């Protein structure tokens, strides 16, 4: 919870440099988007399951975090960095391209694509992040692999990025408040094998330094 409440560094703190925060998931949690309220959850069920509820400051749907099953990285881009742009969609595509390049460094190119169009919604996407596809998000074989959301301040843009190492989208359902959309409309999620995932953050850092 403290990680998601963490303030962005000031422009003076950043000194014009990119910053990468690698967040290690150490306990089960549901992270709500900035515009979501806790009434989308069955809080009693969350408490009984030992699932922490947190809010992030970037938008989008909720993300279900399970230790060892999600890679979460924040990339902070100061406004005075050469990669910074006021084009929000363009900045999302730029971030997705960095992830795709990092995956390519690990030999993962087949089926990888950066979504460059508008929002692709489903009946679940207002509720669950990985049930929709936004600009810049990275797909594997047509399903979301890298989810990206963004928050901006005067000093910087914070890209909050998640990659599933294991995914069973139905496991979050008991934690959600009724009524829910039809289960058969819940989109599939792509996952990354553990070995390349263990090297992916370093590859991303290298790519961001280019």
Q: Which two tokens stand for residue 47?
A: 């408490």
Let me know if domain 17-208 sits in CATH 3.40.50.2300.
no
pTM across the whole model: 0.93
pLDDT tens for the chain, 210 residues: list them: 566 666 667 666 778 889 999 999 999 999 999 999 999 999 999 999 999 999 998 999 999 999 999 999 999 999 999 999 999 999 999 999 999 999 999 999 999 999 999 999 999 999 999 999 999 999 999 999 999 999 998 899 999 999 999 989 899 999 999 999 999 999 999 999 877 888 999 999 999 985
For residue 66, give the DSSP letter: -
What pLDDT does residue 194 have? 76
**Dihedral sign of CA atoms 175, 181, 141, 158 in order:** negative
Domain residue ranges in the chain: 17-208
């Amino acid at each position: 919870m403290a990680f998601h409440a963490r303030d962005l560094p000031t422009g003076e703190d950043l000194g014009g440099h990119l910053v990468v925060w690698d967040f290690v998931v150490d306990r089960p949690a549901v992270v709500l988007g900035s515009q979501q309220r806790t009434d989308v959850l069955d809080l009693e069920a969350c408490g009984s399951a030992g699932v922490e509820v947190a809010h992030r400051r970037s938008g989008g749907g909720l993300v279900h975090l399970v230790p060892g099953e999600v890679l979460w990285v924040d990339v902070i881009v100061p406004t005075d960095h050469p990669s910074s742009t006021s084009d929000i969609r363009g900045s999302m595509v730029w971030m997705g391209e960095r992830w795709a390049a990092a995956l390519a460094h690990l030999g993962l190119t087949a089926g990888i694509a950066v979504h460059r169009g508008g929002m692709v919604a489903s009946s679940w996407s207002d509720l669950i992040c990985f049930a929709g596809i936004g600009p810049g998000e990275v797909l594997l074989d047509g399903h979301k692999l890298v989810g990206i959301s963004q928050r901006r301040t005067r000093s910087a843009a914070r890209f909050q990025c998640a990659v599933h190492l294991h995914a069973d989208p139905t496991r979050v359902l008991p934690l959600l408040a009724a009524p829910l959309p039809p289960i058969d409309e819940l989109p599939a999620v792509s996952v990354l094998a553990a070995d390349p995932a263990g090297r992916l953050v370093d590859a991303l850092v290298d790519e961001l330094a280019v």
